[in-house]
Structures are given as C-alpha cells and as structure tokens.
Amino acid sequence: MHIYWLKWIAQCTITHISDCHKQLQESSGNVHMVDGFSLRLLQIQSSLYTSVHGFNQEEIREKLLAFPGGSIDLLKQDSGIAVLTINNPSRMNAFSGSMMVDLEEQVNQLENWTEGKGLIVQGAAETFCSGSDLNAVRAISNPQDGMKMCMFMQNTLTRLLRLPLISVALVEGRALGGGAELTTACDFRLMASDSVIQFVHKHMGLVPGWGGAARLVHIVGSQNALKLLGGALKVDPKLGLQIGLADGTLGGSQAEDGGGTPLQQAEHWISRYIKGPAPVIQAVKKVVLSGRELSLSEALRTEKDVFGTVWGGPANMQALASKSKHK
Ligand SMILES: CCCC(=O)SCCNC(=O)CCNC(=O)[C@H](O)C(C)(C)COP(=O)(O)OP(=O)(O)OC[C@H]1O[C@@H](n2cnc3c(N)ncnc32)[C@H](O)[C@@H]1OP(=O)(O)O
C-alpha cells in the first residue's frame, strides 16, 4: 500500500486533491485510510514548494502571523458560487501577514467543497487589493524572509488557480502589485468601469513574486506582459479587454449584465458558465486546467481519466434518458 501510495502522490502533483482522495479510497477499499493527515500530505504535494525546496510551511506561517490585520472572508452559497473577500479596507485591502495565512486556510476549505462550481474573488469596500502590506514588507525586507513569503503565496495562489471551480476576479477600484498578481490566479477577470489593474512592482524596485509574471505571460502573451511590467502600465477596462487581461466589464446595459451591485453582476456573468451539476462543472475546469498546465500527452491522459468520472454518471444518464436536443 505504501509504495502504491507514494507512486500515486508523485503522479498527482497537478491533479486536484479530490481526485487523489477518490482514487486512494478506491485503491485501498477503505475510506478510513484517507484521514486528515493523509489529506494534508496530499495538499502539500499539490503545492509547488515543500521541504525538498527548503520550505518550512509552519515556520513561515508563524512569521506571517506576527503581522496581523484584516481578514479573508469566505461565503459558500447554495448556488454553488463562493465569494472570497479581501477585507482590510483601512489599508486599501493590502495583504497583512495573517491575511496570507487566512487565504491559505480558505483555499483549503474550497478544495474540500464538493458542491462548489464557481468562485468570485473581490475586495471589500469597492476596491480590490493594494498588494502586500508595506508595513509587513518593511519588517521582513531581508531576502531570506522575502523568498519564504513568496513561496508561501505562490503555493496558495497556485492552489487557488487549480481549484476545480470556475473563478473570476471582480476588480473594482485598484488592483496593485500583489493585488494585480492575485487577479491572475483566477480563470477570468471582470473590471468595473473605473477600475485599474497595475503591476506597480517596478516602481517598488521589485518584480512580481507571487507567480503573477508567469501567469500574466500565459494570459496576455510575453510582449504584452513585458509592456505591463516594464512600463508599470495602468490597465483600465478598455486596455484590459484589448489585450485579453479582462474578460468582461461591468456597468454595461442592464440586459447585458443583469443589473444590480457589481457582485450581483459578477454572479450573473459567471452563472452562464456554471449551469449544471457540480461534478460536470468541476470536470470542465479539470480538463481545461490540465490542457493549460500539462504536456499534450499528459493532458490527454488526464482528460481520459476525468472523462471516466462523468461517463455514465447521473447527469449523463439523465441527459440520455431525456433524449435532449441541442437546438
Ligand atoms: C509581491 C508583492 C508586491 C507588492 O504588492 S508591493 C505593494 C504594492 N502596493 C503599493 O505600493 C500600494 C501603495 N499605496 C498606494 O499607492 C496608495 O495608498 C493607493 C493604494 C493608490 C491609494 O491611494 P489613496 O486613495 O490616496 O489612499 P491612501 O494612500 O491615503 O491610502 C489609504 C490608507 O491605506 C494605506 N495603504 C494603501 N496601500 C497600502 C499597502 N500596500 N500597505 C499598507 N498600507 C497601505 C495607506 O497608507 C493609507 O493609510 P493611512 O490612512 O495613511 O494610515
């Protein structure tokens, strides 16, 4: 069992934890073998950095908790859409150390949300996020601590992007520095009419460190990424749509976006992509994610595995029974 399990862990670095959980249960035939400890181990394996890379999660957690303030709030709704709110309005929703730890805990929650289909990431009080809290940054400005914080946030944001939920960043006000990086850890970005996404890192004598540069290149291409980072350009909704950083804008005609608050408009926008049963929507995200992250042959094998989880499943059988037509 141990050798099989270790082999499986090596394979499932990319595959989402729930797949591992399910297959472990099947292979062992004993659900009790997948206890909290094993799940935690699997979560660590789905992260980028582990002790092999000199990363000590508990040590950096302790360090980050020394910089408290604000919170990351999670609301899981019956609709299958969760709302994650970056909440530190007195600092324009800058990330304190404890908020970085909070975010990791909320991602844990979402990884285990079997009924989930969609996720909206927003900032409190009509602005998105002004990056890392400069007070914390000053206090841990030595390269060693900076690298540890960077690994912690890369782990968390990678797991956020790999959730089997279709995610959208709802950008109101400003998304600056690490806040701009956070928007790239979602599948889509929606920009309110007066909003700005700006990778201000160059002005701070930095480059992105939370994985934002690598993800940005995937989203807008290397030419545009170079312009955005090299010029610390302000991306408004018009430029965002033009270069593909924004997938939609809010504040259009009522008919188009459903009207209401920006959050209601974002819920309306995402609802068209998450209609249907959770296992099917989660499978959609998984096949796209594997196509995005894996080599073609690995992605094809993953697609086959994910296909196997929905083929002959309840939604498939129901559709066959109802002889549905796609007019
Ligand atoms: C790898 C991660 C890299 C990074 O994220 S580095 C951080 C990048 N972010 C920044 O440099 C943002 C710096 N802040 C600003 O440019 C401006 O505060 C900002 C966001 C444009 C808002 O400007 P205003 O509307 O004029 O408001 P304000 O400046 O009076 O700000 C209100 C209060 O919020 C505070 N604040 C804003 N961003 C912060 C941050 N990142 N860390 C800590 N505190 C921050 C700001 O100091 C002010 O506080 P207070 O009222 O003076 O006590």
Average pLDDT of the residues in 40-55: 72
Pocket test for ligand 1, best of 93, 134, 183 (most atoms within 8 A of CB): 134
pLDDT at 254: 55
Domain match, 308 and 184 both = no
* Amino acid type, 141: S
* Domains: count for the chain: 2
Q: For residue 40, tell me if it sits in a domain.
A: no
Q: What's the rounded Cα separation, in Å, for the pair 240 and 249?
A: 9
Give the residue from 165, 141, 161 showing the smallest Cα distance to 210. Answer: 161
Domain match, 108 and 165 both = yes
Pocket test for ligand 1, best of 126, 130, 199, 229 (most atoms within 8 A of CB): 130
Question: DSSP 3-state assignment of 128?
Answer: coil
Domain match, 176 and 318 both = no
Domain match, 57 and 128 both = yes
Q: pLDDT confidence of 40, banded at 50, 70, 90?
A: low
Domain that holds residue 305: 280-322
Q: What is the pLDDT of residues 108-122, one digit of tens each?
A: 999 999 999 999 999
Average pLDDT value over all residues in the chain: 88
State yes or no: pLDDT of 16 exceeds 60: no
Domain match, 225 and 105 both = yes
Residue nearest ligand 1's atom 48 by CA: 91
**What lines the ligand 1 site, CB under 6 Å?**
91-92, 94, 130-135, 174, 176-178, 200-201, 204, 206, 209-210
How many angstroms separate the alpha carbon of residue 220 from the centre of ligand 1?
Answer: 26
pTM of this structure: 0.89
Q: How far is the CA of 173 from the CAs of 19, 93, 191, 235, 237, in angstroms?
A: 37, 11, 9, 12, 11
Q: Rounded to 5 degrees, what are φ and ψ at 76?
A: -95, 125
Domain match, 108 and 158 both = yes
Question: DSSP 3-state assignment of 56?
Answer: coil
Residue nearest ligand 1's atom 33 by CA: 91
Domain match, 184 and 305 both = no
Domain match, 150 and 192 both = yes
